[in-house]
Amino acid sequence: MLAENCIFCKIVRNDIPSKIIYENDETLAFLDIFPIAEGHTIVVPKKHYENIEAIPDEILISVIKIVKKLATLLHDKLNFEGYNILQNNFKAAGQVVQHFHFHIIPRNFNDSRFRLAIPREQAIEEDLDQILKIIKG
């Protein structure tokens, strides 16, 4: 199943050209046209699933195996110092294309193109207990 107006589905259908670096029956990987770094790669299931909640487990497993394979390949071939694997769900989390996908983003020390702001303030124990209570019901 493909979505008519989804840009990634259009790439899967070859309606839009792309720089494909890997393809099998279920998965397609191509270079991002708005790269954060050289070699920034997008990995998508060929079928349209909007987010991680919608993708069947067996497809998710096969996609993440390809992500691992390609991350290793890119690391070996492009000689960067590290990489981020990023997967966003819903617009509030930065999902721009509503088709489940992973980003493999090459990184080097002292690059300034992409930063994760990790809080340095420890959570209050009572707040964690409250959240845990909500989650566990």
Question: Residue 1: inside a domain, yes or no?
Answer: no
Per-residue pLDDT of 31-72, as tens digits, reads: 999 999 999 999 999 999 999 999 999 999 999 999 999 999
Identify the CATH number of the domain in which residue 113 sits.
3.30.428.10
What's the pLDDT at 3?
80
pTM: 0.92
Inter-CA distances, 31 with 21, 117, 118, 129, 133, Å: 7, 26, 28, 43, 42
Domain range spanning residue 78?
A: 7-136
12 falls within a domain: yes
In total, how many domains does the chain have?
A: 1
Q: What is the CA radius of gyration of the chain?
A: 17
Rounded Cα distance, 32 and 87, in Å: 14
The model's confidence at residue 117, banded by pLDDT at 50, 70 and 90, is: confident
Distance of alpha carbon 19 from alpha carbon 86, whole angstroms: 20
Residues 6+ apart with CB under 8 A from 101: 8, 42, 43, 44, 87
Q: Which residues are catalytic, by number?
A: 101
Range in 34-38, 73-77, 93-97, 113-117 with the lowest mean pLDDT: 113-117
Q: Is residue 2 part of a domain?
A: no
